[in-house]
Amino acid sequence: MEQPEIQLSDAAAKRVGTIAAKQGKPAILRLSVEGGGCSGFQYKFGLAEDIDDDDTKAENDGVTLVVDAVSLDLVRGCVVDYVESLGGAAFRVENPNAAAGCGCGSSFAV
């Protein structure tokens, strides 16, 4: 079976669904990659109003994760998870393309 291009974990889907319901928005999480951060690139998350034609999407329990075509090259094969720990709670990207990361978990290099 071919590996999906992007995946949304159960925990992340549940959290996005909760946030979207509170804000009265569609349960669509957009992941994009921008230049900058400690290691060269950084992840950016936000709720999206709609899905663009060139977006790649993954669905889990009625929640959709979308990634634009440019960002997809840097996160192909990733899993977006939601992790709660003593240090706080955050969305985390498990990115097989990242050659290096940083302590904050939101920045990476390829």
Task: Provide the pLDDT for residue 108.
Answer: 76
CATH code of 6-105, in short, is 2.60.300.12
Distances (CA, A) of 32 to 56, 65, 86, 87, 96: 11, 11, 26, 24, 16
Predicted confidence (pLDDT) at residue 76 exceeds the cutoff of 70:
yes
Of all residues in the chain, the percent with pLDDT exceeding 90 is 73
pTM given for the model: 0.90
Task: Provide the pLDDT for residue 36.
Answer: 82
Predicted confidence (pLDDT) at residue 29 exceeds the cutoff of 90:
yes
Name which residue leads in pLDDT, 1 or 24.
24
**In the predicted model, what is the mean pLDDT of residues 47-71?**
96
Tokens of 41: 């690139």
CA distance 95 to 60: 18
Of all residues in the chain, the percent with pLDDT exceeding 70 is 94
